[in-house]
Amino acid sequence: MRADAKKNYEHILAVANVVVTKHGANASLRDIARKAGVGLGTLYRHFPTRAALLDALLRTGFDELTAKARELETASSPDDALVSWLRDVVTFTGNYQGVVAAMTAAMEDTESALHASCVTLRTAGTRLLTRTQAEGLARTDMNGDDLFSLAAALAWLGDQPSSAPRAEHLFRIIASAILSNRASGD
Amino acid sequence: MRADAKKNYEHILAVANVVVTKHGANASLRDIARKAGVGLGTLYRHFPTRAALLDALLRTGFDELTAKARELETASSPDDALVSWLRDVVTFTGNYQGVVAAMTAAMEDTESALHASCVTLRTAGTRLLTRTQAEGLARTDMNGDDLFSLAAALAWLGDQPSSAPRAEHLFRIIASAILSNRASGD
DNA sequence: ACCTGAACACCGTTCAAGT
DNA sequence: ACCTGAACACCGTTCAAGT
Q: Following DSSP, what letter does each residue of chain A receive, concatenated?
A: --HHHHHHHHHHHHHHHHHHHHH-TT--HHHHHHHTT--HHHHHHH-SSHHHHHHHHHHHHHHHHHHHHHHHHHHS-HHHHHHHHHHHHHHHHHTSTTHHHHHHHHHH-TTSTTHHHHHHHHHHHHHHHHHHHHTT-S-SS--HHHHHHHHHHHHHHHHSTTTGGGHHHHHHHHHHHHH---SS--
pLDDT at position B11, please?
98
More confident residue, B185 or A123: A123
pLDDT at position A153, please?
98
pLDDT tens digits, residue range A65-80? 999 999 999 999 999 9
Domains, chain B, in order of start with CATH, read 1-48 (1.10.10), 53-178 (1.10.357.10)
pLDDT at position B185, please?
40
Which of B153, B172, B182 lies at the smallest CB-CB distance from A156?
Answer: B153
- Using a pLDDT cut of 90, give the percent of chain B over it: 94
d(CA A169, CA B73): 27
Average pLDDT over residues A53-72: 98
pLDDT band at A1 (very low <50, low <70, confident <90, very high): confident
| B2 has pLDDT over 90 | no
Note the strand C nucleotides within 7 A of protein beta carbons. Answer: 1-7, 10-16
Q: Following DSSP, what letter does each residue of B111-134 receive, concatenated?
A: TSTTHHHHHHHHHHHHHHHHHHHH
User: B17 CA to C5 C1', in Å?
Assistant: 24
Contact B180 A180 (CB under 8 A): yes
Q: Which long-range contacts (CB under 8 A, 24 or more apart) does A120-127 make?
A: A120/A62, A120/A66, A121/A62, A121/A65, A121/A66, A121/A89, A121/A148, A122/A147, A122/A148, A124/A65, A124/A66, A124/A69, A124/A70, A124/A85, A125/A69, A125/A85, A125/A86, A125/A89, A125/A151, A127/A69, A127/A73
Residue B55: closest CA among B108, B7, B16: B16
More confident residue, A56 or A3: A56
CB A130 within 8 A of CB A69: no
Tell me how far the alpha carbon of residue B92 is from its chain's centroid. Answer: 7
What average pLDDT does the structure give for chain B?
96
Cα angle B150, B112, A168 (rounded to 5 degrees) comes to 30
Average pLDDT over residues B118-129: 98
pLDDT tens digits, residue range A137-182? 999 999 999 999 999 999 999 999 999 999 999 999 999 999 987 5
The count of C-alpha atoms lying within 13 angstroms of the C-alpha of A35, restricted to the half-sphere facing its C-beta, is 15
d(CA A80, CA A125): 13
d(CA A148, CA B73): 35
Interface of B with A (CB under 8 A): 101, 104-105, 107-108, 139, 141-142, 145-146, 148-150, 152-154, 156-157, 160-163, 166, 169-170, 172-174, 176-178, 180, 182, 184-186
Interface of A with B (CB under 8 A): 101, 104-105, 107-108, 139, 141-142, 145-146, 148-150, 152-154, 156-157, 160-163, 166, 169-170, 172-174, 176-178, 180, 182, 184-186
pLDDT tens digits, residue range A8-46? 999 999 999 999 999 999 999 999 999 999 999 999 999
Contacts of B31 (CB under 8 A, 6+ apart): B19, B23
B40 touches strand C (CB under 7 A): yes
d(CA B58, CA B56): 6
pLDDT band at B182 (very low <50, low <70, confident <90, very high): low
pLDDT tens digits, residue range B69-111? 999 999 999 999 999 999 999 999 999 999 999 999 999 999 9
Contacts of A3 (CB under 8 A, 6+ apart): none
A5 touches strand C (CB under 7 A): no
pTM of the model: 0.95
Residue of B nearest to A83 (CA): B186
